[in-house]
Amino acid sequence: METVAVLVLNYKRQVNITDNILPGLISNSLVSTIIIAHGLHETVFGLDHKLEDEEIFRSGKVLHIGDFKANDTFCCWRRWKLIKKLKDQDILKETYIHSQDDDLLFDNSTISNLLNAYKEGKGILISATPSRNIDKGKYIFKNIKGSCNITLGQSIFTRVDIICKAVERADSLKIPNNILKCCDDICLSFLSLDNLSDYREPRHYSVECKYKGLKSNDAVSSKANWAEIRNNALSFMINLAKKPRLILSTSIGNLRNFIELTSTFMKVYAKKISADLIIIKDSDPLLGILDTIKYTTGRNNNNVYVLKIKFIFYYLNYYRDILWLDDTCIIKPDTCDLFNYINNNHIVGFNEGCLPFVNSSKYDKKFIQDKMNFSINDLNYINSGVVLYNEAIQKYLSDEYINKYKDLFNSVYPQQAYLNYIIQFYKIPCGFLEEKFNKIFILPDSKRNMVVEDISKELIYNSENFIYHITGYYKNRYDILEHICSLIDSKN
């Protein structure tokens, strides 16, 4: 018969364990080992001698363990470290373990119910008490039965090897001890997942079991700032779960077919620098979950300029850094790793304001002055076609800020007016890319009616430019894109 180990932390409620919890566990045929991890010398029970730190003493099913220093250092996280330690020492031989708090008395059928739920694939961590969910990055203090994001430390059932891997992961990720010790259940709910980013889906499960509360003095959840502690720990783990880098682009509109030419180069580059690539199209369900844009915008009331900001905000929930490429950007395969340009900046782009023959920065300087009564430095003005965004800028791209400064999107350069205003008004750390990473004017005297015959093979082959950005400045935009793409393809 398959059996289960049970672990109970003993600190200041030893009477709960001796008089209520222990008798039922000892008589339960499914329970083969009961680990009592003593964290306080004064409350040790069940021995006729002084229990030393790290000493292990077996009495029938019960393993008494001196866990005093670990309690002082790791608090509740010590239970998971102890499970791994006992497994490594070949003392803990069971496949499954249930860790329960010392202020709850569970019905005799609980262990069986938990084991069955696990074997049925209900979740990675199974709990006998109501659990918690995450909503928009916040910890929700509402009891959840069934599938959940977070199992509470009151009751957690799973395989021993899952606990061991989670402890190893916590060490390798160098999670601060103050996060582990006070919110070990939140940490374990993340660390037990195959990929940390899977936390958005409810991968754990709460089984409806019978239990009653016991004496619960000195509960950590009674702290006045408990909600803040829980949300701080959750924020840390969510940030830890973010993937490092994303290349993001969009192609929205029936007549928008540039991405057919440029996406191949984006895919090659993303693979080269180990970045994810996402191209948002008209069919993307993301368009249906973003807030409706209820105000006019510049460029013929085309709301794509606002959507671009919203897309970046959304994906900064899941990635630490994003490289935005307009769908009319051709990125050459030998382009260096642009993510290295972020350094300590929150945003990085090409400084279009340094080009004396370009009017965009001068136009927006006057436009922003009129709308916001704020004067930007038009000599430090980034182009929005190729931009690196770090997660630190995310709040400035939120609906709160977009709605506050929605008038800026009536500029002839809607996205650029918004970005350059918030960068300078809020003094956001901003770095600049060289022009070769956002080459808009292919020839020294590029004309709007330039034709493909003006762009020679030698010009592209011998150029030091790495990203060609074919903007709406050119009348023959698609033809120019197609021509440059074919020239780069033929060289490679």
**Terminal Cα-to-Cα distance of the chain (whole angstroms):** 64
Task: Specify the pairing of strand 382-390 against strand 319-325.
Answer: antiparallel
Give the per-residue pLDDT at 199.
93
Say which DSSP state 171 is in: H
The pLDDT value recorded for residue 13 is 94
CA dihedral 280, 283, 284, 285 (to 10 degrees): 160
Q: How far is CA 88 from CA 82, 84, 159, 164, in A?
A: 10, 6, 14, 9
pLDDT for res 1:
77
User: Domain-by-domain residue ranges, the chain?
Assistant: 4-240, 243-491
| Predicted local confidence at residue 142, as pLDDT | 94
Name the token pair of 396: 């400035």
Alpha carbon of 372 to those of 63, 266, 368, 402, 432: distances in Å? 70, 37, 5, 14, 24
Tell me the whole-structure pTM to 2 decimals: 0.75
User: How far is CA 331 from its chain centroid?
Assistant: 27
In 3D space, the residue among 258, 249, 433 whose CA is nearest the CA of residue 323 turns out to be 249
Does the 4-240 domain belong in CATH 3.90.550.10?
yes
Which pLDDT score is estimated for 226?
A: 87
pLDDT digit string (tens) for the chain, length 492 residues: 799 999 999 999 999 999 999 999 999 999 999 999 999 999 999 999 999 999 999 999 999 999 999 999 999 999 999 999 999 999 999 999 999 999 999 999 999 999 999 999 999 999 999 999 999 889 999 999 999 999 999 999 999 999 999 999 999 999 999 999 999 999 999 999 998 989 989 999 999 999 999 988 766 666 678 889 999 999 999 989 999 999 999 998 767 899 999 999 999 999 999 999 999 998 888 888 776 777 778 777 778 899 999 999 999 988 999 999 999 999 999 999 999 999 999 999 999 999 988 999 999 999 999 999 999 999 999 999 999 999 999 999 999 999 999 999 999 999 999 999 999 999 999 999 999 999 998 887 888 888 889 898 888 888 888 999 999 889 999 999 999 999 998 876
pLDDT value of position 221: 63
- At the topology level, CATH places domain 243-491 in Spore Coat Polysaccharide Biosynthesis Protein SpsA; Chain A (3.90.550)
DSSP characters for 195-250?
A: SGGGGGS--EEE----EEE---TT-GGGSTTHHHHHHHHHHHHHHHHSEEEEEEEE
Q: In the beta sheet, which residues pair with residue 322?
A: 246, 389
- Report in angstroms the alpha-carbon separations of 182 from 16, 78, 278, 368, 484: 22, 11, 37, 48, 57
Burial level of 204, CB count in 10 A (0-12/13-18/19+)? Answer: buried
SS3 track for 280-326: EECCCCHHHHCCCCCCCCHHHHCCHHHHHHHHHHHHCCCEEEEEEEC
Secondary structure of residue 181 in the 3-state scheme:
helix
| CA distances from residue 18 to 21, 34, 52, 105, 178 in whole angstroms, order as listed | 6, 12, 20, 12, 30
Residue 137 has a pLDDT of: 87
Tell me if domain 4-240 and domain 243-491 are identical in fold. Answer: yes
Backbone angles phi, psi at 474, to 5 degrees: -90, 135
